[in-house]
């Protein structure tokens, strides 16, 4: 399936983006979007022709140079200089799925007809997206205000045949790819450089990507913790609906319901228990996992608003005959949301590591470190160390970036969001969580084996049968790195194959 998604004025949902990504859909401008873009550009051309007054970013310098007037014959050079001078990112490359989302979200923002770009500029961004020509962008350089200037400058460089792109796995000069596709470089007109560089698409793309990953990992946290509960001979009573209806946080209710569903018809959960209570890492799964779900809901609302917004500057209002310099590029809403997401995701890893620890502790009839002949075999001792190390790193990364601000541009830009730092930190936290959950699944699968001949639910038994094809029961010490890597791949493949997207 490879149909087209039309960029229009309709609300772009996260579920729609998920569908575009996983169905590998092409994108195209709707007739409405084409009309809005063209009308705004025509209006701006006419405005410049008949007005000599300075208009910020259109015939002036930028930032603290906003009072420097630029002559009409230098406007193209002004825009190209802007793109080149701002392309000063450094650090690691932005992951390619995030870059592709940046292209999509930049096209969406420009399609509303308040940015003054040429139609051919937007179309070239679409060409890049549809042909997987992905600009090489770097993770460091954005303050998360005045837009994501440095990353978006690298996104824009290939439009003018500069910079580098990734194409078919290789890094190429942009000029080479333009020649290969028979594309002429875009001759930027007034305001276009600023429209391309102002905006929050670096933060937004990271946020959308990480939300999709976080929903996936939230599902797996519930499933894997259910297996751990079974392996630890845990009690089902804390998941009773009555408990959660008297404290009706929606995430809490959903988590308890999901765990009950996972454990339907389980022999293990129904057997008589010798203990009265379980540790919090098992008993409070609904409360902890549920709070993360509620955070995901809040963060999703923030990003849904952002990806359907105009975030460059100045904004052009054709009907009102107004060009207004404002601050829609400021990333504060995203910075706070990304910091919140970091904390919520880190907590899923935090409680997961505690379950890992309980499973290897030799409690409730389980062998120490989940192997026979402990001593001769270290068993699952060190995977818990690894999880603890990762969880500690996540605690450090979860420290909020949004509480910081550094003055820039000679004091003109005197408060910034640092949302870009929050985004790249959040990326590490989310993928660290996946590693911790993989270690928990590895441990839980091993531990539940010792509960035979009793079985878990048909759902969990089926899941574990699939998993053990990749990662069998461990009888004696071996290289655990390979098992963790196989588990990571299994989680991704299982999620896609079973169409659990955005569950």
Catalytic residues: 56
Instruction: Report how far residue 57's alpha carbon sits from residue 327's, in angstroms, rounded to the nearest whole number.
Output: 13
Length in residues, the chain: 503
Sign of the CA dihedral 469, 474, 475, 480?
positive
> Helix, strand, coil shares of the chain as percentages rounded to 5?
60, 5, 35
Instruction: Report how far residue 450's alpha carbon sits from residue 7's, in angstroms, rounded to the nearest whole number.
Output: 54
Instruction: Report how far residue 328's alpha carbon sits from residue 201's, in angstroms, rounded to the nearest whole number.
Output: 12
Q: What separation in angstroms does the CA of 82 have from each of 78, 153, 302?
A: 6, 8, 30
Nearest to 335 by CA among 263, 399, 288, 253: 399
Instruction: Report how far residue 350's alpha carbon sits from residue 334's, in angstroms, rounded to the nearest whole number.
Output: 24
Q: Which two tokens stand for residue 134?
A: 């992905």
Q: Which residue has the tokens 């350089």?
A: 141
> Please, which residues have CB within 8 angstroms of residue 479's CB and are 6 or more apart in sequence?
none
Chain centroid offset of residue 162 CA: 28
> Please, which residues have CB within 8 angstroms of residue 452's CB and are 6 or more apart in sequence?
none
How far separated are the first and last CA of the chain, in Å rounded? 21
- Exposed, middle or buried by CB within 10 Å (0-12, 13-18, 19+), for 74? exposed
Instruction: Report how far residue 7's alpha carbon sits from residue 112's, in angstroms, rounded to the nearest whole number.
Output: 10
Sign of the CA dihedral 223, 228, 231, 235?
negative
Give yes or no for a contact between 356 and 382, defined as CB atoms under 8 angstroms apart. Answer: no
């Amino acid at each position: 399936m490879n149909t087209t998604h039309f960029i229009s004025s309709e609300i772009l949902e996260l579920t729609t983006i998920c569908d575009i990504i996983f169905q590998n859909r092409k994108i195209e401008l709707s007739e409405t979007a084409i009309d809005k873009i063209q009308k705004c550009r025509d209006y701006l051309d006419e405005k410049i022709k008949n007005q000599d007054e300075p208009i910020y970013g259109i015939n002036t310098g930028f930032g603290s140079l906003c009072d420097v007037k630029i002559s009409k014959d230098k406007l193209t050079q002004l825009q190209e200089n802007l793109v080149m001078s701002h392309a000063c990112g450094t650090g690691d490359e932005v992951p390619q799925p995030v870059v592709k989302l940046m292209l999509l979200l930049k096209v969406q923002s420009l399609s509303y007809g308040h940015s003054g770009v040429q139609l051919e500029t937007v179309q070239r961004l679409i060409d890049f997206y549809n042909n997987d020509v992905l600009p090489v962008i770097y993770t460091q350089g954005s303050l998360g205000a005045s837009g994501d200037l440095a990353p978006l400058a690298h996104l824009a460089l290939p439009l003018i045949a500069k910079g580098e792109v990734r194409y078919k796995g290789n890094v190429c000069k942009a000029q080479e790819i333009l020649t290969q596709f028979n594309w002429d470089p875009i001759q930027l007109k007034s305001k276009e450089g600023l429209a391309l560089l102002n905006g929050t698409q670096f933060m937004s793309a990271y946020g959308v990507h990480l939300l999709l990953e976080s929903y996936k990992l939230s599902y797996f946290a519930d499933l894997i913790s259910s297996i751990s509960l079974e392996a630890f001979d845990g009690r089902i009573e804390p998941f009773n609906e009555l408990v959660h209806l008297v404290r009706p946080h929606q995430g809490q209710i959903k988590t308890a319901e999901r765990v009950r569903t996972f454990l339907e018809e389980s022999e293990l959960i129904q057997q008589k228990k010798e203990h009265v209570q379980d540790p919090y890492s098992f008993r409070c799964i609904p409360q902890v996992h549920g709070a993360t779900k509620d955070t995901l809901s809040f963060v999703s609302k923030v990003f849904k608003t952002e990806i359907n917004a105009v975030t460059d500057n100045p904004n052009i209002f054709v009907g009102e005959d107004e060009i207004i310099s404002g601050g829609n590029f400021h990333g504060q809403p995203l910075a706070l949301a990304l910091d919140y997401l970091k904390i919520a995701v880190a907590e899923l890893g935090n409680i997961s590591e505690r379950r890992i620890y309980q499973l290897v502790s030799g409690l409730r009839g389980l062998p120490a470190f989940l192997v026979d002949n402990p001593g001769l075999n270290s068993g699952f001792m060190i995977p818990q160390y690894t999880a603890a190390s990762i969880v500690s790193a996540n605690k450090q990364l979860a420290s909020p970036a949004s509480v910081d601000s550094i003055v820039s541009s000679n004091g003109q830009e005197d408060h910034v969001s640092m949302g870009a730092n929050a985004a790249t930190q959040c990326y590490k936290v989310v993928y660290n969580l996946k590693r911790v959950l993989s270690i928990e699944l590895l441990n839980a699968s091993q531990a539940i084996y010792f509960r035979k001949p009793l079985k878990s639910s048909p759902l969990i038994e089926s899941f574990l049968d699939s998993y053990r094809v990749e990662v069998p029961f461990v009888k004696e010490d071996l290289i655990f790195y390979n098992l963790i890597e196989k588990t990571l791949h299994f989680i991704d493949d299982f999620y896609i194959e079973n169409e659990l997207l955005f569950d």
